[in-house]
Amino acid sequence: MTSATIQPRRGMHVALWVAQILLAAAFGLSGFAKMTAPIEQLSTMLAWVTAVPEWLVRFIGVAEVAGALGLILPAATRLQPGLTPLAALGLTTIMVLALLFHLSRGEVQALGINVILGVLAAFVFWGRTRRMPISPRSTS
């Protein structure tokens, strides 16, 4: 490889890691709040939580935390790194569903964050499956 081909690959690698870290922070914090905060407290920040069963809010929180962990741990440890793009795909799916839910309720102010997080998660899925997959740790 020449230095001309190494630089773009390094840039893509860095961009993917930055996206993974930002997504993990956003979904980790949001998911933890959905898992642990009282619904009344959550409803002051997220009006939709009173429109769905509590178990669904908690389930979404668990899924977001699992996705956040899946974005970082398999890639960082190189143990089962194929789980990282699957986590990104799962988070993309959550954001598509959230976008549709908010559209159905006329909550257009919530769409921006759904689009941004969804596009970032889709970028990680694409990048970690097509452009820069992480190789598993060698077993020797």
Mean pLDDT rounded to a whole number for the chain: 94
Q: For residue 31, is it within any domain? A: yes
Q: How far apart are CA 66 and CA 84, in angstroms?
A: 11
Q: For residue 13, is it within any domain? A: no
Q: For residue 15, is it within any domain? A: no
Q: For residue 96, is it within any domain? A: yes
Q: Name 71's Cβ contacts closer than 8 Å, sequence gap at least 6.
A: 20, 23, 24, 27, 84, 87, 88, 91, 124
Number of domains forming the structure of the chain: 1
Q: For residue 94, is it within any domain? A: yes
Q: What is the pLDDT of residue 54?
A: 98
Q: What is the pLDDT of residue 22?
A: 99
Determine the average pLDDT of the residues in 30-53: 97
Q: What is the pLDDT of residue 14?
A: 95
**Owning domain of residue 61:** 23-130
Q: For residue 47, is it within any domain? A: yes
Is the separation of the CB atoms in 53 and 109 below 8 Å? no
Q: For residue 1, is it within any domain? A: no
